[in-house]
Structure 1
């Protein structure tokens, strides 16, 4: 599928993303899963990691930097090379072993995920110089889940805020929020006060409306309209164009984030950013994992 055209005035802005860079093992089930025996399937290996996915999809739209951690191993080398080939300005630390996520995709395209973040949780420094020139810093909530990465990214968000850099957080998954503790994550959001929180309907319902007086919440709901909740209590609904032959929801949220953030950082218009996010997300729904090239 053809790449999205670069946004006008894109060269004047820089999007920064930090988060996981891992290998996805995507299993497309051809029949319902049966415990204790075989189930027919197709298996794909694709680059993954929520943060890296956002950076890869955004790089064709605006200049994009990524910082994360992978192992000093062949999978890490391959993932870094693939991300750089997509046009991302990649910087990684090396520690431990490169992470892997196994994804079971049922016949409706819904995912069940088995994450082993490994090195992605070991990021122990985001240099101040890496923040230089950023217009927006995007952080998936997975980064707050544990290991040195959690404290490192919190520090980077606070430094970004002090510099006047916009901050976006993605709620990532209900599983992650439950493991972290919903009340604890609400408190973290209140402390960090991001400018934008991206969430799907289930994540938004789990977190509730109270995040921060300065945070705009963008709630995705699959084929239903995306709803943008503004800090003043008002909201805007943006319809989602239909997509035929949806096979795999993996990466759709990351692709939406990439399109949304790239548009927003250039135009500063929430409605057109949602439209761009929907167009970006639609590109991955027929392909395995966070890819756009088909099975």
Structure 2
């Protein structure tokens, strides 16, 4: 089973129909969807295999709705209930790029994860957002240590350059060197920001993580997997017909990559699975997924 620990919030996704008019009205479409990087990964992964989400939401109606919705998508949901459920406002420009205004709310209040919530996990995925905030930051580090003692694989997503800047690049690299995750997933901007990969080749800080497979995505360009020992796997990205909203594409990639890896233990097939999942969110608001045209096919195959 794949486990994910992280945020579960409401996304308010705004698609302006015209350039934003400061000081007055701007025509727009607005969508209310489930959000939070961890919850997005869980919802996508549940379509492909057994998945558990671990987090914290408010003891409120919004928290009830989000938990029920995630469970309805097939996720085994384990949450604390404290504080008020968070919301993220996401502005999508004409190039499908995002500007995010987050209020994580109760997501940062996770302070206890019972041992039973880790039972049956083969791999634990952790968005780096979870390290930025307390008490969740301390809780997640402790959970990763407990998971590794059980022999559970660990994956970390670099999340965003904004988060990494706020947290501190060297502090993050030191934490990764200490925790030794099996996988670190990043887009090309994040990988370059951390000094782990640039232009498809290993960056100056790659040697700081000698036990970690670094997966560097590059949008429509090939994904490059840097394997300990200096080997690389380069996987082309199939063309995508329509791109309207990049929100959740990285989370969908992580879901497809990790579930395919658990099924095949093959890094090339894992990337193919990640690309297929990511393509299905690019035309939809937020992290919602289009129907899978290959429904009924073996999801571990990952091809489109």
TM bracket (short chain) = over 0.9
**Which residue of structure 1 lines up, in the alignment, with residue 20 of structure 2?**
33
Counterpart selection for 1:219 from 213, 216, 237: 216
Secondary structure of the corresponding residue to residue 20 of structure 2: coil
Aligned residue number for residue 238 of structure 1? 235
Gap runs ≥5 in structure 1: 1-13
The alpha-carbon deviation at position 37 of structure 1 amounts to: 2.6
How much does 1:38 deviate? 2.3
Tell me what 1:292 maps to.
289
2:160 is aligned with 1:173:
yes
- The alpha carbon displacement at 1:33 in A equals 2.2
RMSD of aligned residue pairs (Cα, Å): 1.0
Output the CA distance in 2 between the equivalents of 1:34 and 1:123.
Answer: 39
Residue number in structure 2 paired with 1:61: 48
Question: 1:1-295 counterparts in 2 under 5 A?
Answer: 14-209=1-196, 210=205, 211-293=208-290
TM-score, normalised via structure 1 length: 0.93
TM, length-normalised to structure 2? 0.91
Is the Cα–Cα contact under 8 Å of residues 183 and 215 in structure 2 kept in the other structure?
yes
8 Å CA contact retained: 2:78, 2:117: no
Q: How many residues align?
A: 281
The DSSP-based 3-state class of the residue aligned with 2:85 is coil
CA deviations over 1:2-24 (Å, ceiling 9, x no partner): xxxxxxxxxxxx11111000000
> Structure 2: where are the runs of 5+ without partners?
197-204, 292-304
Choose 60-69 or 32-41, whichever is displaced more.
32-41
**In structure 2, what is the equivalent of residue 3 of structure 1?**
none
Instruction: Tell me which residue corresponds to 1:7.
Output: none
Q: Where does structure 1 differ by over 6 angstroms across 4 or more consecutive aligned residues? A: none
Q: CA deviation at 1:293?
A: 4.4
Higher mean alpha-carbon deviation, 24-33 vs 67-76, is at 24-33
Q: Which SS does the other structure have where 1:108 is aligned?
A: coil
Bigger RCO (CA 8 Å, 6+ sep): 1
**Deviation of 1:128 (Å):** 1.5
Structure 2 distance, partners of 1:277, 1:177, is 23
